[in-house]
């Protein structure tokens, strides 16, 4: 598994964790912080997803040397 795929997977897991925290957290003053982190992480997730699909179309050696 390449680095982009690993980061994409971890970002996805972190998004799920933040969504669960937002839904179950009894402290409403943390909602803004959780939502802010969720938005930033979702943007990174989407960027990694596009990088991952781009990388899978290329020869792994070309991707490694191109980065």
Contact 2, 63 (CB under 8 A): yes
- By the 8 A CB rule, do 34 and 17 touch? no
Mean pLDDT by 10 residues, the chain (67 residues): 84 90 82 89 88 60 41
Q: Two tokens at 63?
A: 């991707």
Report CA-CA distances (Å) from 1 to 9, 13, 14, 44. Answer: 10, 16, 19, 19
pLDDT of residue 65: 39
């Amino acid at each position: 598994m390449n680095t982009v795929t690993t980061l994409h997977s971890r970002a996805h897991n972190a998004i799920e964790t933040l969504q669960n925290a937002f839904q179950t957290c009894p402290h409403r003053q943390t909602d803004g912080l959780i939502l802010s982190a969720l938005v930033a992480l979702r943007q990174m997730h989407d960027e990694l997803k596009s990088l991952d699909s781009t990388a899978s179309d290329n020869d792994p050696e070309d991707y490694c040397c191109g980065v």
